[in-house]
Amino acid sequence: MRKIFHFDSADAPYIADAAVLCCFDYRISTAVRKFLKKQNIERSDMIVVAGGAKTLASPRNDFEQDFILEQVRMSIRLHQSKRVLVMSHSDCATYGGLAYFKGDRAAEAAHHRAELLRAAELVSANFAGVSVEPYFVKFDGVWEIKAEKG
Ligand SMILES: [Zn+2]
């Protein structure tokens, strides 16, 4: 092989601050990155797939859900992740976008809230001893989902 790019990466042993499941939609990537930093998550195992938390809450097939759970499992086992962030976002194409909710942002948020809680529950049921945190990313920022309300 032949080196075509030079860059020095940190090669110290790696312990992840969190495993982060989110959508690959580029529009939310900067918000997610800045939010993680604000959460003191400097180093994360990023599980970036179409739909993010949807792959756990409403998977297209069993393979998808198992594959993502396996990714989380490996982050916990190999990189000692103690936090698992599950995220979805507004106008996500895997849900048919905001158009699916006829432009009703409240209806969209309510739907995502239920999805995120289901995804978080699944992660909690599979992995004891990790903090599972569901978040909804909108175009104005990141919204925390609580099990009780909001
Ligand atoms: Zn998306």
Is residue 5 assigned to a domain?
Answer: no
Q: What is the pLDDT of residues 67-86, one digit of tens each?
A: 999 999 999 999 999 999 99
Is residue 53 assigned to a domain?
Answer: yes
Is 32's pLDDT higher than 60? yes
- From the list 148, 24, 5, the residue with the least C-alpha distance to 89 is 24
Is residue 37 assigned to a domain?
Answer: yes
Ligand 1 centroid from CA 13, angstroms: 32
**Count of structural domains within the chain:** 1
Is residue 71 assigned to a domain?
Answer: yes
Q: What is the pLDDT of residues 12-28, one digit of tens each?
A: 999 999 999 999 999 99
pTM score, whole prediction: 0.95
Ligand 1 centroid from CA 23, angstroms: 5
How far from 130 is each of 41, 83, 120, CA to CA, in Å?
15, 5, 11
% of the chain surpassing 70 pLDDT: 98
Ligand 1 centroid from CA 128, angstroms: 28
Q: Do residues 65 and 73 lie in contact, with contact meaning Cβ atoms separated by under 8 Å?
A: no
Q: Rounded to whole angstroms, how far apart are CA atoms 131 and 142?
A: 18
Q: Rounded to whole angstroms, how far apart are CA atoms 81 and 71?
A: 11
Is residue 72 assigned to a domain?
Answer: yes
Range of the structural domain that residue 61 is part of: 31-144
Ligand 1 centroid from CA 6, angstroms: 32
Is residue 149 assigned to a domain?
Answer: no
Ligand 1 centroid from CA 24, angstroms: 6
Is residue 115 assigned to a domain?
Answer: yes
Enumerate residues 6+ apart whose C-beta is below 8 A from 109: 90, 136, 138, 143
Is residue 40 assigned to a domain?
Answer: yes
